[in-house]
Amino acid sequence: MTRDFGRHVYGAAAVIYGALALYWHDVDTWPQLAALAKAPYRESVVYIVAAALIAGGIAMRWRRTAQIAAVVLGVFYLLVSVLCIPGIVAAPLIYNNWGNFFEQVSIASGALIAYASLASGSLRSAARAAGIGRICFGICVISFALEQAFYLDATAGFVPKWIPPGQMFWAIATTIAFALAAIAIVSGRQALLASRLLTAMLVLFGLLVWLPALFASPHSHFNWAESAENLAIAAVAWILGDYLRLPDRTMAPRRR
């Protein structure tokens, strides 16, 4: 595992997001963008979103362009999160609206941490930016725990039936795991361990839940969108772990 492999996974998730926009020729992956994608601007919005995500995702591959890519992707995910706010205001008691907001913020926080990890200027400023990203991500992980808790039956329904000891057991166990990871990440105590375990859990979600769903229904936009989102959030946890793993957490990774 390379020290900053999470950055590459993050970029791959962005490319998949962009490809989804082109394949379905819409931005329905993010319902919040629907207001911006009305005719006669629909075509333009689809191509702008796809171009930004694919170009940004590819640019994350190289250190010389990764910071610019992090800005582009971070701004996009932040925009989507802001567009979630009207839904929250309209129906504040429906937690799914809050969940959508924090999911996008969590992905945006990954861009901030990635940007900070590659900073070549003030190490103190980079550490401060990474710290903000870490806390924001930790708060979002709290939301993941709450969302699973509020929709526990639905969460259990996603667990493959063949995994012992049962679907509800794993729904509860993963909800507790999210909560514990959030506490560790926000507090900074055992944050590296928490980020690594969280990465592993999210990767398992992808392998055990979303990959089989894609094979079962490869033409489902929902399955592809959820798979890309799971991969993106796993990448954020990976990016955080890569950053915290540095001997000096204020230092950017060495150039190859």
| Nearest-angstrom CA–CA distance, 249 and 154 | 39
Residue with tokens 């033409």: 219
DSSP 26-87: S-TTSGGGGGTT-TTSHHHHHHHHHHHHHHHHHHTTSHHHHHHHHHHHHHHHHHHHHTTHHH
Residue 162 sits in which domain range?
A: 5-244
| Nearest-angstrom CA–CA distance, 130 and 39 | 39
Judge whether 252 lies within some domain.
no
| pLDDT at residue 35, as a whole number | 78
Judge whether 251 lies within some domain.
no
| pLDDT at residue 64, as a whole number | 92
Judge whether 256 lies within some domain.
no
CA angle centred on 97, ends 115 and 167, rounded to 5°? 95
CA angle centred on 183, ends 238 and 242, rounded to 5°? 20
pLDDT 10s digits, 79-115 = 999 999 999 999 999 999 999 999 999 999 999 999 9
| pLDDT at residue 248, as a whole number | 59
| Nearest-angstrom CA–CA distance, 239 and 215 | 28
Closest to 237 (Cα-Cα) out of 136, 98, 99, 100 = 136
Weakest-pLDDT range from 121-125, 193-197, 208-212 = 121-125
pTM exceeding the 0.85 threshold for the entire prediction = yes
Judge whether 22 lies within some domain.
yes
| pLDDT at residue 40, as a whole number | 80
Judge whether 198 lies within some domain.
yes
Half-sphere exposure of 189 (CA within 13 A, CB side): 3
Judge whether 147 lies within some domain.
yes
Judge whether 193 lies within some domain.
yes
Residue with tokens 């903000």: 132
Cβ-proximal residues to 103 (8 Å cutoff; 6+ apart), any chain? 140, 143, 144, 229, 233
Percent with pLDDT over 70 in the chain = 94
pLDDT 10s digits, 36-87 = 878 788 889 999 999 999 999 999 999 999 999 999 999 999 999 999 999 9
Q: Per-residue pLDDT averaged across 179-187, rounded?
A: 98
Q: How many domains are there within the chain?
A: 1
Residue 251 pLDDT greater than 60, yes or no: no
